[in-house]
Amino acid sequence: MPSMTDHIVVQLKGKKILILGFGREGQSTLRFLCRHLPKAQITIADAALPGKDHSIPENIRTLFGSHYLDGLSEAELIIKTPGIPTRLLQLRPGQQLRSQTDLFLSAFRHQTIGVTGTKGKSTTSALIYHLLSQAGKPVVLTGNIGTPCLDSIEQITPETTVVFELSANQLENVRHSPGVAVLLNIFEEHLDHFGSMDTYRQAKLNILRFCMPGDTAIVHRTLQSVIPPIGGQVHFFPEPAFHLPSLPVLRGEHNRSNAQAAILAAMATGFQEQELIPLLNSFKGLPHRLEYLGLKAGVHFYNDSIATIPEATVAALETLGKVNFLILGGFDRGIHYELLANYLLEHPVDHLLFTGQAGQRIASLLSITPGIMHLHFFEELKEAFEIISQNCHVGDICLLSPAAASYDRYKNFEQRGDLFRSLTETFSNKTS
């Protein structure tokens, strides 16, 4: 009997394949092809040169550098990685554009819980994985949260549930929805990749667009008016009658909402609500997500580096209450900051520390009375800690919640958060 892997292989067999993009996912695709289709005609194309730690078999053609798209027309099937915008591609008639995500879902959709949302998808995916594993169900966590999905196939049996964190980039070209589809929220983000908010929104909605009878969709109530017709059953959350205990690790209403979505997703696999809710207490949380770093020289530090949009920063401020130092800014993706600026004017923070073009733009929206909030600007994060050290008092709260991407200075939000954690460890209070 053919396996689910065979179902993927048959879609690729006999075709001239172009792996478009050779980052983590592109390298995963190459491993899969070399394992299952060693004689396939494969070309790899990427604007960047491959890392020294990755060897490419001699029989595989490569196109690296600024002209990496020159070989596009020769391919019969293009497997595009998430980082390359579809709008940059001009395909000829008859060419197939696929993704690792869509190939995986074509085979494993019935046993997959897919999770997407502008914010909260990693926490919710990790929560679902935690609930199912603690309840004794075989489960694999894959996708945007870490391991590329084709690298996870060897761990999957017919009894396994796959929890798949899905970014909008991964959903952009899919034609299959997961059997359980979770849509948490849609906020303005990644406009540099998609070109418009509507294109970004439509990519997110692909998680629901191909649901079939028997599938389950779990959708935030605020999205009822924008979701496409859904073939399966729909559950909306948050549900006021859905009672959750106090969750110290998952602080804030946004995380209580995420926990509801996670429980609904786990229930779709056959568990009961009363079986799952007690398991929330043993969840440890993820780094860089309103992560409490401790009390250092009398100051409480929180790492919320994952907050790359204003809605996430507002949620963090709402959760913590009074914040004395807020670090904002970074790479400017062109999103609107009026929501955050208006919130800060109504809920002043003693010291606002800005960086990058996004920080400059947020600051420009704040017309404040001198003495209500103090505005500071910095280039390197260590300069921000010097400002904090010179102005803080015992009991103050310092929050990194930038409302902006990190790519102007860092590889990703994790690197930014790791540096913040490191500087916190050596912090000294010059006012005490």
> pLDDT tens digits, residue range 225-253?
999 999 999 999 998 878 888 888 889 99
3-state secondary structure of 11: helix
pLDDT at 243: 82
pLDDT at 1: 47
Strands (E), 32-123: 41-46, 61-64, 77-80, 96-98, 112-116
3-state helix, strand, coil in the chain (%, to 5): 40, 20, 45
- The domain segmentation of the chain, as residue ranges, is 4-85, 102-282, 291-425
Q: Which residues of the chain have pLDDT under 70?
A: 1-2, 52-53, 368-370
Q: Are 385 and 423 in contact (CB under 8 A)?
A: yes
CB neighbours of residue 310 within 10 Å: 26
Domain covering 102-282 in this structure, CATH number: 3.40.1190.10
Residue entry with tokens 């983590």 = 24
pLDDT at 53: 65
Cα 271 from Cα 264, distance rounded (Å): 9
Residue of 189, 190, 188, 235 lying closest to 208 (CA atoms): 235
Exposed/middle/buried for 244, CB within 10 Å: 0-12, 13-18, 19+?
A: middle
Q: Do domains 4-85 and 291-425 have the same CATH topology?
A: no
3-state secondary structure of 162: strand
H-state helical runs in 159-196? 168-171, 191-194
pLDDT at 2: 66
User: ∠ CA 149-119-84 to the nearest 5 degrees?
Assistant: 50
- If you ran DSSP here, which 8-state letter would residue 148 be given? -
CATH architecture of 4-85: 3-Layer(aba) Sandwich (3.40)
CATH architecture of 291-425: Alpha-Beta Complex (3.90)
